[in-house]
Amino acid sequence: MHSDSSSAANAANTVLFEDVSKRFGAEEKSFTALDAVDFAVARGSITGIIGRSGAGKSTLIRLVNGLERPTSGKVIVDGVNVPDLDEAGLRALRRSIGMIFQHFNLLSSRTAFGNVALPLEIAGFDRDAIRTRVEPLLDLVGLSDKRDRYPAELSGGQKQRVGIARALATQPKLLLSDEATSALDPETTQSILELVKRINAELGLTVLLITHEMEVVKAVTSDVAVIDKGIIVERGRTFDVFTRPQHPTTRALLSGLPGSKLPAALASGLRPHKTQGGRVAVRITFFGRTAEQPLISQLIQTLGSDINIIAGTVDEIGGEPYGSLIIAYAADDATCAKADEFFKANGLVAEVLGYVS
């Protein structure tokens, strides 16, 4: 039974972390970078791992390609436990894993074509085979006309596209992205993320994306794990985690997204307790069917009083509609009770932010 369940898990997932811990240094001065991590990367998904600097993200990704070995636990990639591999096994594994980096890591002495060709040359491909493989990749990333340009002649976005093409050269099953958009401007970041989504869809490639940027996670991932001080504190479908964050770290990371941050004037005037004749400020989260209904007008009718709309945004997470609206209404007990009943009846997530005079 255990063997069957393990086989099923391996078939469904490209990467499995099973009770993985990683410590650095001698026992007395050791530092725990990862602590009992259990996490799966579904085959064919774009999965994000997000956390602050120093949370353990880069250590996690280095375990996948064998650049680090866990102190304990299993790191299973495509059915193989990476720590069990010898050097020959690791070389074979790394040919099935593509990697894109924050700072591109291109060779300045090689053209775009030459950089993409490098892993194929190392693998022993002949000239014709390399050309047959590299030219379609340059076309895929939109750089056919830049094949003979050197990195110094390319923009940041173009350099990253070369890096992506190079990562795909060995036809990997898994693509690792370590802060790949952190050095890019927002417009270029968006174009790179669109490219990653297209590669995932067209090639069926599993993508494991490490980032500290919630906007990146929101834009491309289907699943996400939140890591804090080496521990996975929350995980699930990106839409579920973003619309119903359970852990304080997740809420803190989400607070910087548009529509989540309170206007300065409101934030400075919020009080923790209600005052006579004051109003309560509430953030309402809309998703699914509720994002398309006239709920505010219905809420006004239910409460029988005015509502101030303070801030709001409408967006998509994983192709599903999502909205966040900050409103204020009378803070008396009767009005608040009616509002709470309305929110529950309509499947809305409501968070009291504080009270204003």
Give pLDDT tens digits for 273-301.
888 889 999 988 877 666 667 788 889 99
Q: What is the domain partition of the chain in residue ranges?
A: 2-96+172-254, 264-356
Average pLDDT over every residue of 197-223: 91
pLDDT at 57 over 80: yes
pLDDT at 290: 66
Q: Which long-range contacts does 181-185 make (Cβ < 8 Å, 24+ apart)?
A: 181/211, 181/213, 181/216, 182/102, 182/211, 182/212, 182/213, 183/102, 183/103, 183/104, 183/156, 184/156, 184/157, 184/160, 185/156
| pLDDT given at position 4 | 53
In the chain, how many H helices and how many E strands? 13, 14
Alpha carbon distance 116, 196 (integer Å): 17
pLDDT (average), residues 27-41: 89
CA distances from 231 to 7, 35, 251 (A): 26, 5, 16
Percent of the chain with pLDDT over 90: 57
The arithmetic mean of pLDDT across residues 57-84, rounded, is: 93
pLDDT (0 to 100) of residue 164: 94
pLDDT, averaged across the chain: 88
Q: Is the pTM of this model over 0.85?
A: no
- Going by pLDDT thresholds of 50, 70 and 90, the confidence category of residue 166 is very high
Tokens 């398309």, residue located: 292
Query: Is it the case that residue 258 has pLDDT exceeding 70?
Result: no
Q: Say what the pLDDT of residue 285 is.
A: 82
Architecture of domain 264-356: 2-Layer Sandwich (3.30)
- Cβ–Cβ < 8 Å for 317, 238: yes
Q: Which fold has domain 2-96+172-254?
A: Rossmann fold (3.40.50)
Name the pairing type of β-strands 46-50 and 223-228: parallel
The pLDDT score that the predictor gives to residue 136 is 95
Helix locations, the chain, DSSP H:
2-12, 57-64, 87-95, 112-122, 127-140, 156-168, 186-203, 214-220, 238-243, 248-254, 264-269, 295-303, 333-345
Residues 236-261, mean pLDDT to the nearest whole number? 83
pLDDT band at 33 (very low <50, low <70, confident <90, very high): very high
- At residue 8 the predicted structure's pLDDT band, cuts being 50, 70 and 90, is low
Q: Which residues contact 43 (CB under 8 A, 6 or more apart)?
A: 11, 12, 13, 14, 206
Q: Are 46 and 34 in contact (CB under 8 A)?
A: no
φ and ψ at residue 125, rounded to 5 degrees: -70, 145
Give the pLDDT confidence score for residue 9 in this predicted structure. 56
Q: Under a CB-based contact definition with an 8 Å cutoff, are residues 147 and 112 in contact?
A: yes
Q: How confident is the model at residue 103 (pLDDT cuts 50, 70, 90)?
A: confident
The band of 207, judged by pLDDT with boundaries at 50, 70 and 90, is very high
- The arithmetic mean of pLDDT across residues 180-206, rounded, is 90
